[in-house]
Structure 1
């Protein structure tokens, strides 16, 4: 840095932040400003400005940079229902992120590891089949929002000026499916948008806890999230009172997706201009190569699609974050002195153990747990002796497995096999790298066992093969398509460790790699296995010989014990992860069979589900005495689980999402209308296997009477409720008191229950505590009123319920909200937006224009909208804003109740974004008074507004 640069105003910490940012911005050339819009922002040596990179993954530990403390998956942290704990975990992660920033070079690129943390994920766990279920906290917006805000607070630290790290909320918006995620559209009507999806994001932003947001891959109502007007209309509006703007980043490669595969824009200059103007400040695209992004934005500027002001707005937001992170004040930065010794420190290990312990959920217990110390224990199952990492976990510095935690030798219960060819050769792992070759078959009793493989069956025909000799998994090697048994676990973005053994016509099997889809052959010169055959006919044929039956070995271990712990679940990289949704909720059939056969010989069996998501374990719930769930909870999972199983601590976790039954037909994954489809505990109509908030304890609790200070209040009043909670058992324990609300007189489709507050209390045996809840009615009772486009508390009776879960109410009290009844919806000379319907059949939402507005369109060319309590008095005509892409015409009908008001013809406009006005006279049918207005759309068309005039 030059001497002159040291004395420039932006270096003066005594100046206001905005002045410092503006001074530095003014000194940048246009080319330098454009270059800062890419994820990898280059250094500017003449000003002493360093390189800057947006984003280090920090979801439940510092990821992808090497060994770091690993905490439970986010869904496990959600199961703690503990904001203080989540904040402590985030603080530890951010301290380690600082250590990597100061003391370790990045794995990719140059400069320093980023202090912007791409976490937390506050996308709601609407559908448990979502491949990224492990990354979110809960299906409930209140719980997700509070835990997300706590995580952000832990990341930022408590200094009034400087951030420890800069948390970024992921992924905006309505992103809960992986299959075709870059082209699917989430249809979100206004009530769902405001009451559900936005509600998870708002608190962290409005309180200033979050410093940024990442846009999601998907589209919402037909418009890509990266050009959503909600970035400015909602998110940045919420942030205004904090005095800081959000720094919005794109998801990886999403800017390019706007043209291909989404085809939303004709060219990349136009798409990048639209994204920048919509509010994207940093483009994560083409890895480290910033030239492509720079070229596209430069072209947009030259074509007049952007102005320098558009570029400056984004650069200001980046510079503001960098100043707040202390980059330009190293001597004043309170976090600059963090040393490398914080990474996996004893304090962080203890916190990892505490977090892993508190997220364990006791799903069922008829008295077998806690385990009596004198009873002999067997630990069996494919997850008994391993802890899996996931795509966003850190690298475990050490692992305590379940068998380690319980101090017994585990039996995985998987088959050990030999794969032989017709001429008697066997697949064998040789050398330090475990290269798979064909060689003479070994004596299967020999100690070397180089031709033996443990076969893990993950369902859907997906297998992993682990060499008995090396203890490592077979993996495809990209360079030469050979296979080596050299991987500790399946992993990476592209999983190369999954295979299929598929039947051939002659009774043998062929080996196919799932990643490439190609089959195994043998190099004729060396015998080395290569995955190079394109068809089964070209593939090498194998005969599989099972030398150790996994289920028989598990049953034998169970017979020799008094209690069996069966550990089942998923590998987070297989059959459900980023880019791949789950096919269903069942356990893998081989795991289910193992469980049933073990339980048949040892009825005292505990099922431990270690998973990233819920399973439908109906059979286990009916036949086993105890079931426990844990997420993949990091390096201390085994010790944490053992502490709960042995009763060294109470079971304190509570489910953050509903566990459905196997025979419960779930809505379609792309049906995002939780109200109409019946998603989550708020709207699902069938009793689940385990409800939201469920979790048992080793002690018992009593809730006293729920007392309300006022049983009547105004719509803007405050609810004050108290109750006592007593530990009526003989040992200390934790109760998570959940307070729900319900509208008893709703004129709209109200939730069956809605979480309004919760409190986690730890009580000694016999101890009593009093809990106070003070809630504004506008928070606890309001809904989004489509007639007024605002949150509203309608008058009427409401019920407050204390509960142990959404399925276990304990106490209740009724209050009445006073005030006038809602007025009918006025539509005369007030535009009625088609998306503001009360109900619908076969309707989906689409974009009205590329930049703003929603419209509706029928599914399968026929749909209906319902608008309740519409005052049509004085209406003489109606103007309909419509579009139609196809040639010819479509039909649209308006009905007041059962009375036909008008039928209109919708002409072709040639493009979905080209709108025309169709006028119709309704005076003939005298639509006076208040009616339910029905709009029936037949044929391909779109409708955005209805305007009634006298």
Structure 2
């Protein structure tokens, strides 16, 4: 006789309940009840250790076992930005800024899903072999949702671009993917970072460890905080506080951020972890705010911090002093138990206190690494991230090229195509532009021209020889994580070193047409390529990671309809340095498309397709509302081009008569839709009352009476740059 599975489960749970020694081990109780019981059973010394061991070097983790309670070791530290980072071979997905360009919540969730599957599979293997080192844990210190507020910031590539709404919506999808869909357990924990108002500088003109951002309450509420609220509402289990200070207060000791806003206003119940060494750096670099380690420990715990991520190599940590704070009455036992609670609750949800066989995620292993499914996701994500900036009829390529030249320092540079915080992918899985595109030509010439992306030494003869007889030259330029990354800001928008000379020589000496591929986290000065008649097409590729060459081949050849370029710029591409403000100025004046009044080279939301699209039948319902009501916006979009493809439908609003400063335009909705030739699709988007509200100091967000204009189309409004779609404009009234 075959016994139904659910009866087996009932019997199993009953048995485990009988075997449970303590209530926190009783799987029939709720996670909340079990966590309450566990927290009360921990000694204060045990709690201090648990709050101190968030990772960070030999002495920073893991959290040790507590044998008397049957509690195992636990490692928080892992990097999951777009693949399992720094933990050996894993599938490397496109960098976050490229994922943002997809404007696709679907592909971002799939990337996060694959990432967390590999993280969990490798974690299980690490535990099996007794490896508890950094980057083997389940904490997933991702995603990065800071605003790309300045084009030279070294960490732009890790973000979802310059818009708070886009960043927040994409973060929700990423969190959903990391979490998994099991009704009881989470696959990994998500930790949104870096909270808050952290967006450069890294090292130019000052260090991020010493920097104090001066931010108005309006800019804080309308630019730097909204995406973090999306994280909280989207189910993030944790947040990470940043190194810098805001208005004189170090962020990891900022009670206004961590307690007033995060916990009281937003109802966040998760944990907050410091960035690596941030507590130590408060003492070293934020002189005078705290004078002793004890003060730093007490101040940060009172402000709302739960867990310390150590600086690496330090035997003593700031949170070690929590014990002294308790002895001297500077911290209460109740507060310390309150701070450790979300850590233990998260471990509960990860299944750490349940029998191994109850949690299906415990059965994942290293066989999931570089699975065909994950490689396919990597290819699709890269294809969906490429932004076509220019196309004078060259693409898609329909015929074999006689002589093809593939040149430039990014043409066959596997490591610099990955971007920072990448998985340590086995090089045999990496497809460079040269490797992926060589089959486009009957004959292929290749020359790097420079031995590094810095291009301080340039072999002009090598480049001229390679391109002079080419029917098509593909020029691969950019930065790589060697030149823009954590701790490394750029100093200007110029192509690095002598790359501009390389491009100039290609334009001058080749007899054929030119396709330029840019690999960077942010905008570069490519005016020469944009203006040259010999440069027929330009792609912004960002850092597409392991599938670069394969994905480029698919996009250039249009292997299938899904390969038709559909990505859009998630940031403003400034024309030149005259449009770039001081990085240390944290006012939003003239920054991002929301406040910039100049003419960019390419606007936010811009991107071309091999197809064309027509918008019509804009309907705004209702046309007049009272405060607190929502609005439904619908329209028809038709693929009027030759090829099937994706269109990113974007909706913006502007306030016509607000009494306070508002953005010129604000993205409030988007949807990436696939359209076959001549196919009309009705798209429905919504504007919530919260999106209509403006910030008024000392009053908060208020929906004011007046007129709000609505813009629908294929890019942000107010620009004359030619795109492959039109724009519709309407309005509604708030009474």
TM-score, normalisation: structure 1? 0.70
1:110 Cα offset (Å) = 5.4
Does 2:688 match 1:688? no
Which moved further from structure 2: 702-711 or 248-257?
Answer: 702-711
Call closer, same or farther: CA 1:184–1:47 in 2, change over 3 Å.
same
Equivalent pair of 2:446/2:466 in contact (CA under 8 Å): yes
Q: Equivalent residue for 2:492? A: 584
Are 1:172 and 2:86 counterparts? no
Name the residue aligned to 2:524: 615
Q: 1:756 Cα shift?
A: 0.9
Listed as ranges, the matches of 1:93-108 within 5 Å are 93-104=115-126
- Tell me the residue number matched to 1:339: 365
What do residues 693-720 of structure 1 show as CA deviations (whole Å, max 9, x unaligned)? 1110001110013122222111222212
- The correspondence of residues 767-786 of structure 1 with structure 2, limited to 5 A, is 767-779=679-691, 781-786=692-697
Q: Shift in Å at residue 239 of structure 1?
A: 5.2
Match of 2:583 in 1: 669
Pick one of 505, 508, 528 that aligns with 1:597: 505
Q: Which has the higher strand share?
A: 1
Q: Could you tell me whether the CA contact under 8 Å between 2:410 and 2:453 is conserved in 1?
A: no
- Provide the C-alpha distance between the structure 2 equivalents of 1:294 and 1:137, rounded to a whole number of angstroms: 32
- The reply on whether 1:730 has 2:646 as its aligned counterpart is no
Contact 2:147 2:199 in 1 (8 A): yes
Residue in 2 that maps onto 1:651: 565
2-side partners of 1:360 and 1:195: how far apart? 29
Report if aligned partners of 1:270, 1:305 keep a CA contact under 8 Å in 2: no
SS at match of 1:778: helix
SS at match of 2:545: coil
Match of 1:393 among 409, 416, 422: 422
Match of 2:84 among 53, 62, 65: 62
The alpha-carbon deviation at position 352 of structure 1 amounts to 0.5
In structure 2, the residue matched to 1:632 is: 543
Post-superposition CA distance 1:616-643 (Å, at most 9, x none): 2111111122110112111101110121
User: Relative to structure 1, is the Cα distance of residues 663 and 319 closer, same or farther in structure 2, using a 3 angstrom cutoff?
Assistant: closer
1:810 matches 2:726:
yes
Give 3-state SS (helix, strand or coil) of 1:695's partner.
Answer: coil
| 1:43 paired residue number | 65
The aligned residue for residue 30 of structure 1 is: 44
Instruction: Give the match for residue 224 of structure 2.
Output: 197
2:383 aligned with 1:354: no
For 1:65-80, what aligned pairs fall within 5 Å after superposition? Answer: 65-80=87-102
CA distance in 2, matches of 1:202, 1:34: 29
The superposition leaves residues 90-116 of structure 1 with CA deviations (integer Å, 9 ceiling, x where unpaired) of 000000011111113599745993111
For residue 184 of structure 2, what is the aligned residue in structure 1? Answer: 161
Match of 1:558 in 2: 467
Return the match for 1:571 from 462, 480, 483.
480
Mapped to 1, the partners of 2:24 and 2:46 lie a distance apart of 17
Alpha-carbon distance, 1:326 to partner: 0.3
2:98 & 2:501 partners in 1: Cα distance?
27
Aligned to 2:5: none
Residues 167-216 of structure 1 deviation map (CA, whole Å, 9 limit, x = unaligned): 00010001011121011111111111111111111112023x21100000
In structure 2, C-alpha distance between the alignment counterparts of 1:579 and 1:112, rounded to whole Å: 20
SS of the residue corresponding to residue 736 of structure 1 reads strand
Once the two structures are superposed, the pairs formed by residues 747-786 of structure 1 within 5 Å of their partners are: 747-779=659-691, 781-786=692-697
Taking a change above 3 Å as real, the CA distance of residues 307 and 727 of structure 1, as seen in their structure-2 partners, is: same
- SS of the residue corresponding to residue 154 of structure 2 reads coil
Distance 1:196 1:321 in 2: 29
Q: How many angstroms does 1:811 deviate by?
A: 3.4
CA contact (8 A) 1:797 1:814 kept: no
Deviation at 1:552, TM superposition (A): 1.9
Equivalent of 2:703 in 783, 793, 803 = 793
For residue 280 of structure 1, the aligned residue among 279, 292, 305 is 305
CA spacing shift, 1:202–1:70, aligned 2, 3 Å? same
CA distance in 1, matches of 2:198, 2:167: 14
How far apart are the structure 2 equivalents of 1:4 and 1:267? 49
- Matched with 2:6 is none
Kept in 2: contact 1:383–1:412 (CA 8 A): no
- Listed one character per residue, the Cα deviations across residues 738-775 of structure 1 (whole Å, up to 9, x for unaligned) are 11101122222221111010111111111111111222
Per-residue Cα deviation, 1:595-624 (whole angstroms, up to 9, x for no partner): 111111235111100112221211111112
Helix, strand or coil at the partner of 2:259:
helix
Aligned equivalents of 1:798 and 1:738: distance in 2?
A: 16
Q: Distance in 1 between matches of 2:266 and 2:359?
A: 24
Structure 2 residue aligned with 1:413: 448
- Structure 2 equivalent of residue 698 of structure 1: 610
Answer yes or no: is the 8 Å Cα contact 1:563–1:604 preserved in 2: yes
Residue 312 (structure 1) aligns with: 337
Matched, 1:404 2:435: yes
Could you say which structure has the higher helix fraction? 2
Name which of 240, 264, 274 aligns with 1:250. Answer: 274
Deviation, structure 1 residue 291: 4.3
Question: How far apart are residue 457 of structure 1 and its match?
Answer: 5.6
**In structure 2, the residue corresponding to 1:68 is in which secondary structure?**
coil
Distance in 2 (alpha carbons) for counterparts of 1:29 and 1:777: 47
Q: Which has the higher contact order (CA 8 A, sep 6+)?
A: 2
1:282-335 per-position Cα deviation (integer Å, ceiling 9, x unaligned): 111243756434542222222322121222112111100000100111232131
Q: Aligned-pair distance for 1:6? A: 4.4
Aligned residues: 683
- 2:262 corresponding residue in structure 1: 235
Displacement of 1:238 in angstroms is 5.3
Give the Cα–Cα distance (whole angstroms) in 1 for the partners of residues 645 and 584 of structure 2.
Answer: 41
Matches within 5 A, 1:705-744: 705-744=617-656
Tell me, in whole angstroms, the C-alpha distance in 1 between the residues paired with 2:296 and 2:86.
30
In 2, distance between residues paired with 1:651 and 1:818? 38
Q: Which digits, 9 at most, give the CA deviation of each residue in 1:2-49, with x for residues without a partner?
A: x99942211101112222112222222221111111122211112111
Q: In the superposition, relative to structure 1, how do residues 365 and 111 fare at CA in structure 2: closer, same or farther (>3 Å)?
A: closer
CA distance in 2: counterparts of 1:750 and 1:704, whole angstroms: 28
Structure 1 distance, partners of 2:91, 2:133, is 24
Aligned partners of 1:212 and 1:247 also within 8 Å: yes
Deviations 1:380-411 (A, max 9, x none): 11110122233310012311000111125562
Equivalent residues of 2:96, 2:159 under 8 A apart: yes
Counterpart position of 1:913 = none
CA–CA distance in structure 1, aligned partners of residues 522 and 130 of structure 2:
30
Q: What is the match of residue 864 of structure 1? A: none
The DSSP-based 3-state class of the residue aligned with 1:159 is: coil
Cα displacement (A) at 1:814: 3.5
SS of aligned partner of 1:407: helix
Q: How does 1:917-928 map to 2 (within 5 A)?
A: none
**Displaced runs of 4+ in structure 1, greater than 4 A?**
3-6, 105-112, 288-291
- Cα shift readout 1:101-136 (whole Å, capped 9, x = no counterpart): 111359974599311111000001111111111100
The answer as to 2:351 corresponding to 1:326 is yes
2:445–2:467 contact (8 Å) kept in structure 1:
no
Identify the residue that residue 606 of structure 1 maps to in structure 2.
515
Instruction: Return closer, same or farther for 1:734/1:273 CA change in 2, 3 Å cut-off.
Output: same
Classify the secondary structure of the residue corresponding to 1:117. Answer: coil
Q: Conserved in 2, the CA contact under 8 Å of 1:383 and 1:568?
A: yes
TM-score (norm 2): 0.89
Query: Which sections of structure 2, spanning at least 5 residues, go unmatched?
Result: 1-16, 55-60
Q: 2:244 aligns with which of 218, 222, 228?
A: 218
Q: Equivalents in 2 of 1:34, 1:334: separation in Å?
A: 31
